[in-house]
Structure formats: C-alpha cells, structure tokens
Amino acid sequence: MLASLPRDGIFSVKMKDPYEILGVKRDATADEIRAAYRKLAKQHHPDLNPGKRESEDQFKAVNAAHDLLSDPQKRARFDRGEIDASGAERPPERPFYRDFGDDAGRTKYRTEAAFDPEDIEELFGRAFRRDRGEGFKARGPDAYYGLTVGFLDAANGAVRRITLPDGRTLDVNIPAGVNDHQILRLKGQGMPGIGGAPSGDALVEITVAPHPLFRRVGNDVVLEMPVSLKEAVLGAKIEVPTIKGPVSLKVPPNSGLGTRLRLKGRGIAGGHEYVEIKVVLPHEPEPELEEFLKSWTPRHPFDPRAKTGKT
C-alpha cells in the first residue's frame, strides 16, 4: 500500500485512512498504535533509506497518521466523522540528514574507512590510462586461469595447452621447478585492450598434483625405498627412480630405518634426491632364518627401545 505512493502525493496520502496507513484495527489500543508506528518509522525513515526517495513521503504519511491517532481527542473526532484524515496538521517541511549525508564535499561525520579521493583517481587512472589527444585507450584486463600439472612435469618443466572459455587455446610454458600455487604471468594473453591498447595478461595459477613416490622439500626430492633384510644387512646395489629416470644406488651394509642416502644434484633445479631406507621382512616363513635367530647371540647387544622411555 505505502510502496505505491506517488512521489508528490502528500495530498492524496493525507486523505488516506490513518488506521490503514498504520495497519491497525479501528479499535486498536494506544500501545498497539505506538508499536505499529515505531515499526513503520524504522522502516521508512528517510535517513535510514538514503537511496529511496519515496521514503520521505511514506515517513510523513506515517507521522501524520500517528499524530492523528495518538491524540485521543483528534482520534475521537475522526472516528465520529467530524474531521477527515486531512484534518491532521501538516508536518512542517524539514531537511533530513540524508540531504547532507550524500554531499560528496561533506567533511563532517566521515568514517576512517572511507575512500580517499586520491584512491579513486588512482583506481580510474589505472583502469583507463589515457594517451594525450589520441582518443581513449585502455589496456585489457588480466584473465585468471587455473592449471593442474603432474609432479614430474612441475619438476622438469613442460608445455601444457589450456582451452580458454572463449575457445582459444593457450600454450603454457611450465618452467622446471614450478611451485604449488605459483602464478605464471603470460604477457598479453589476457583480455583485449580498447583503442589499440595492449591486451592484459593471463595469470595462470599452477596446482602441482602429488606423486605416489616422490615428496618435495624445497628443491630436494625425498623418496622412501624398500630394501630386503639381506640387502640392508649385507649392502646392495639397487635401482632407484629419480625425477629424470632410474639410477643405480649403492646401499651400504647395515642400512636400516633412519639411513638417508643422498643422490647429489638429482633433485629439482640443483637440489638433491634423498633416499630413505625402509627394511621389509620376508613375506613368507623362512625356517632357516628363524633357526639362525634362535641360536644367534648378538655381538653388540642393544635395546632398540632405549630412547622411547617405555622400557
């Protein structure tokens, strides 16, 4: 009902039934009228609705209705039909706070969070760089893409082709050693510019997929390598994977948990590969080994749980 009030409809507003304007019954108590009025005043106060021009008329209508109905004598006369709704006093014209609050030159009551005019200029300046006298030119906006690459491609470098939303394809040169979440900037591959200005850049965020064997620590690659009991005790020459393919590695005798072997320069961009030895016991029963261990007295007995504090 109130929402459809005409912009300059103060006269027609005043002819409206005040009970209807406040949305109360004709036998409403003074408290009900006050409560309804407060609710509508909060809803329609112009200063709380700076973007709604019509709120001023709505607020005035609500005030006029309340003025009439909150005065017992006026309300009784209205109910008896002695005065109509327009008999209510016209509220004096008044400036609202919003008339000043919207003033861009306003210096009072500003919050610190407000934009500095220089910020705005900078914003516009950056978005629309103008060339003197040559008409308008603007560099195209940057475009953002995501690309997931395998661990080995990230370590060794690769070229990946991505298809853009507009159907164009883009070859992304992934440099060796690229990090997870690193952003590659491809000059001039973003949105086209205006007026012959250069295009923006394409920003490609790289996600590096994890590898089942390799783990990256800085530029080093860490790898856990299972060896048999015999290899661990006697030493062995085994083949281990690196990011550039398998190499041969000499496992020294008496290697075990905690043995970390370095393959110099086999990591990423000059880093190393570290091989962590993991001893795996035979899967099938080995009666001879069992017999030997039963009769075996270690030459250097030691308690492997000495440092756990639980012995």
CB of 160 to another protein, least distance (A): 28
Q: Cβ closer to another protein: 17 or 103?
A: 103
CB of 259 to another protein, least distance (A): 59
Q: Cβ closer to another protein: 125 or 253?
A: 125
Judged by the rule CB under 8 A, the positions of this chain that interact with another protein are 37-38, 41-42, 45, 47-48, 50-51, 63, 94-104, 106, 108-111, 113-115, 117, 120-121, 124, 128, 135-136, 138, 194-195
CB of 90 to another protein, least distance (A): 17
CB of 136 to another protein, least distance (A): 5
Here the tokens at position 305 are 């749980």
Sheet containing strand 260-263, edge to edge, reads 214-217, 220-228, 273-280, 260-263
Q: Cβ closer to another protein: 58 or 242?
A: 58
> Cβ of 227: how many Cβ atoms within 10 Å?
20
Exposure string for 207-216, b = 16+ CB within 10 A, e = fewer: ebeebeebeb
CB of 145 to another protein, least distance (A): 18
Q: Cβ closer to another protein: 42 or 80?
A: 42
CA 58, CA 62: separation in Å to the nearest integer?
6
Q: Cβ closer to another protein: 19 or 59?
A: 59
